[in-house]
Copies of this chain bind each other. A is one copy, B any other.
């Protein structure tokens, strides 16, 4: 019997070896595998397309790369790990002495056994990454270097998966798919997103949930450029997708640290309040961080021209663990239990978000006579009768158009579920209107 955590971990292990980048076949292969779990709509955007302030770059692909010593032995080998080559390296084929090669060999002296992750997307460059120990072991002498890569007009690739809801209004869940062999950053996020999509589909959500698997920065910018109208307040096209109301960026979703929620730029968006509530109510150890314009693609979704209510959920946040952007962020660094826990919090949060409606008390002068309507009796057999009764009084008291059910839960101290159940009962009795 496999747990969802183990299934997610298997997915991470399977995706791990692929050499992803902001464009190229590594992304496509990744989306193919994710697409086995949830159907994906894959978008290919040509090189040169103007996207907001940016331009889609040339597509990068790589077949092989190595540094070989004079004996022809590969001392640094892309085949062993996609991290060994500087991302977006231009093709090279040369033989040169170690002294000349050294400036192009990136290491982490403070973690001598780890290989760093480095890229050079927008400045043509080439290089290799290796451990300090490996570098130290290289004798002086001539080395053959070869990077069999191509940089050519092609496409930027991203994918979407939509879980339709009862309303066309959307919640976006976004994760980046541009990092090569790094597990927590962000294969764990990809895995949690895929399983979250499956779970949501099973429960017929209120909102429409759109999952975005895209390269970091340029991918999110591309998505925003192509969805700008419905994101930024213009009218949604009739029959087309709805407005984007809320969102969550998932990243670093699988390490063993406590959960971290980083608020949207607005700071008090509904997703911010929901996440804060759910994390506090669950009594999980967690932290809530203020927005910063640094991190993952919340940077783009929250840029002031969009200013979406999009927060970011991680475990240990961006750049706050030593394994970040190194070969130590491998599948063992993430755990099935941690991914399952992240998934559970997402599901709880979206469950609250989906039910967090505003009602209006239709009998607002004095209390309505609940007994006459059987609202006490209906609940009389339950052990939580008094809580249910209190919840109804609270919903009646605060249903003035200005309070949503989460406000009621927070002000009353009652569980959100009890408040939502009371609202359902009152709505059924015609005492509150949506």
Interface residues of A (CB under 8 A from B): 52-54, 122-123, 217, 220-221, 224-225, 228, 232, 265, 290, 292-294, 299-300, 302-307, 361, 363-369, 371-372, 390, 393-394, 396-400, 411-412
Q: DSSP class of A's interface residues: helix, strand, loop or mixed?
A: loop
Q: Is the CB of B123 within 8 A of A371?
A: yes
Q: Is the CB of A53 within 8 A of B299?
A: no
Q: Is the CB of B399 within 8 A of A304?
A: yes
How far is A220 from B299 in the complex, measured between Cα atoms in Å? 50
Given the known A-B contacts A304-B400, A364-B304, A397-B303, are A369 and B53 also in contact in the complex, defined by CB atoms under 8 Å? yes
Q: Is the CB of B300 within 8 A of A367?
A: yes
Most buried by B among A300, A305, A361, A394: A305
Copies held by the complex: 3
How far is A368 from B293 in the complex, measured between Cα atoms in Å? 12
Q: Is the CB of B304 within 8 A of A361?
A: yes
Residue of B with least CB distance to A224: B366
Residue of B with least CB distance to A55: B369
How far is A390 from B224 in the complex, measured between Cα atoms in Å? 22
Q: Is the CB of B367 within 8 A of A265?
A: no
The interface residues of chain B lying within 8 Å CB-to-CB of A397 are: 265, 293, 302-304
Q: Is the CB of B224 within 8 A of A365?
A: yes
Q: Is the CB of B369 within 8 A of A54?
A: yes
5 contacts between A and B (CB under 8 A): A122-B372, A221-B366, A303-B365, A303-B366, A303-B367
The interface residues of chain B lying within 8 Å CB-to-CB of A265 are: 397
How far is A361 from B307 in the complex, measured between Cα atoms in Å? 13
The interface residues of chain B lying within 8 Å CB-to-CB of A306 are: 364-366
Given the known A-B contacts A122-B371, A304-B361, A371-B122, are A396 and B293 also in contact in the complex, defined by CB atoms under 8 Å? yes
How far is A210 from B54 in the complex, measured between Cα atoms in Å? 47
How far is A368 from B52 in the complex, measured between Cα atoms in Å? 8
Residue of B with least CB distance to A123: B371
- Besides A52-B365, A221-B367, A305-B363, 13 other A-B contacts (C-beta < 8 A): A53-B365, A53-B367, A53-B369, A54-B366, A122-B372, A123-B371, A228-B365, A265-B397, A290-B411, A293-B367, A293-B396, A303-B364, A304-B397
